Chains A and B, each alone.
Chain A
């Protein structure tokens, strides 16, 4: 457990380096979603460069595609491509490492970027699994601001209609979006009731806590007859007080002074995690 948390700070540093090098990126959401991705890729999902084309692999869709930098670091750590290449090429002219998922890269199933696509696509993937009687699971991470997209709820309805218990959606509930507090933009305070009323199994957790993440994914796997949504309550900018809970860090590039403080904060938390 301590290892994953420790790893997450190494990957957070990779994200910051990538964004500084590429002169842009959605840093706040990368940090909030990082622990969800690390838990999924290193504990939960049956996916690796060796089995990335196998019909039985688990599927992952980054519905909040703007958090692609976090996904790149996790995929690089899994061995899909070298992190040095990502940091060097991210957002540069002619690069494959663009600012949203690009399925020409190994390990990325579908392109995204525009919000509200990941869940309905995941419904199709889960449905295919049921048709083919396969055991794979389908995961998708959405943002909380994303939930204002109507297509999310079309997918939610279909997930229930087809009883897709091989489907698990995760909401990165960091409570901030580009214009500010989600509740001021378009409120989602009743998310548990909302998904429950659509027939889903709902689990609400601290989404930056590995013990809770692990338990939630296990509960989702054991839930039969309906899909599960994990409301992962996270901290936007998680990892450094420079960024945490600050809406303007949605896509800010740190200056030299901020960079130094952020890296220092990561190091302190990484060491603390190693001693846990």
Chain B
């Protein structure tokens, strides 16, 4: 089992690039530990900005730095940076078009028993609704590395969500196909298309393997790029399937499921089933326990598909 969390990979990429690029600046809101960015702060104190527990300030200061030529990476728990500083993301990053990457750490229900205040089950909906804001949920450590490297190459605002804990690998160090803003088709099948993002990609792949044993052939699409959504890949996967299932660690409204449904409904009508967290504070537990309770695991995905295909 992989022991490296995606947030650690983000730190490693930033440290690697910051050696050469003095314009890379990392900002934290008393979150350097949670974000695994303490090594960056220690190694590059001149390129690190601490703002204290003040997410609005975090995002506005990042935008001001970016406007003056810096590549700003602002890291804070996803629950706070996506909604406490929502307006700063909208105006200072997206509307003013500044080179700020917002890194939402401990996303989704990573904080488990800490309750709804610490869960970010609204971030996809909130961030995606902002013009000029991109939204990414990488599925594993290898993809996270590719994504970070790609984001360092451009100058547009973006929001990334990663979870707190290490996640099982979807890809391999030597094999992680990645094209910026193009979804990765992990498996190809003909009966059902499963579209997932973030930590739900691995259970989707496992579900596809279980389905195969029962003679059901599944496509698995890793939609790490929730916005801009890769519509072509969705349509292609949906057209070759009888049923489309979306899986996400998010509220049932306005997330990946809603977006995929819009595309399928308008371009290649098929039944789409959205698997997501409930429209309610989630049950208390670790993220694993929460996922299992709501059927957001391989067995749960298999069950839904068998019931509906």
Residues of B within 8 A of A (CB): 25, 46-47, 49, 51-52, 54, 56-57, 60-70, 72, 87-88, 91-92, 95-98
Contacts and interface: CB of A to CB of B under 8 A. Distances in A.
22 contacts: A55-B68, A103-B97, A111-B92, A111-B95, A117-B60, A117-B87, A117-B91, A120-B60, A120-B61, A121-B61, A123-B60, A124-B67, A124-B68, A127-B64, A127-B65, A128-B70, A132-B68, A151-B56, A151-B88, A154-B54, A157-B54, A157-B57
Contacts of A109: 67
Given A109-B67, A117-B88, A132-B69, A151 B49 contact: no
Given A113-B91, A114-B87, A131-B70, A124 B96 contact: no
A110 B49 contact: no
B64 A121 contact: yes
A125 B57 contact: no
Contacts of B96: 103, 110-111
B26 to A, nearest CB: 12
A158 interface: yes
Q: What secondary structure prevails in chain A residues at the interface with B?
A: helix
Contacts of B97: 103
Contacts of A161: 52
Nearest to A156: B57
B51 A122 contact: no
Contacts of A116: 56
Nearest to A122: B64
B56 A124 contact: no
Q: Report the interface size class on chain A.
A: 20 to 34
Contact of B69 (A103, A114, A121, A128): A128
Contacts of A113: 91
A110 B67 contact: yes
B281 to A, nearest CB: 26
B49 A127 contact: yes
A112 interface: yes
A136 B47 CA distance: 19
Nearest to B62: A124
Given A110-B96, A114-B91, A117-B88, A124 B54 contact: no
Contacts of A124: 60-68, 72
Interface string A164-178: 000000000000000
A256 to B, nearest CB: 37
A131 B96 CA distance: 22
A127 B27 CA distance: 12
B68 A59 contact: yes
A158 B95 contact: no
A51 to B, nearest CB: 15
Contacts of B66: 124
A159 to B, nearest CB: 10
A111 B51 CA distance: 22
A127 B74 CA distance: 15
A155 interface: yes
A139 B65 CA distance: 15
Contacts of A110: 63-64, 67, 92, 96, 98
B63 to A, nearest CB: 6
Most chain B beta-carbon neighbours within 10 Å: one of A55, A114, A123, A154: A154
Contacts of B69: 55, 128, 132
Contacts of B52: 157-158, 161
A227 interface: no
A120 B70 contact: no
Interface string A127-153: 111011000000000000000001100
B65 A120 contact: no
A114 B59 CA distance: 15
A99 to B, nearest CB: 14
B67 A121 contact: yes
Contacts of B98: 110
Nearest to A129: B68
A125 B68 contact: yes
Contacts of A55: 68-69
A149 B242 CA distance: 53
Given A125-B67, A128-B70, A151-B56, A111 B61 contact: no
B62 to A, nearest CB: 6
A155 B91 contact: no
A111 B52 CA distance: 25
A123 B25 contact: no
A123 B52 CA distance: 14
Interface string A53-85: 001000100000000000000000000000000
B282 to A, nearest CB: 29
B47 to A, nearest CB: 8
A131 B25 contact: yes
Given A55-B69, A103-B96, A120-B56, A112 B61 contact: no
Contacts of B60: 117, 120-121, 123-124, 151, 155
B56 A125 contact: no
Contact of A120 (B47, B57, B67): B57
Contacts of A117: 60, 87-88, 91-92
Nearest to A118: B60
B129 to A, nearest CB: 16
Contacts of B87: 114, 117
Given A124-B63, A158-B54, 6 more contacts: A110-B67, A117-B92, A123-B60, A127-B49, A154-B56, A155-B61
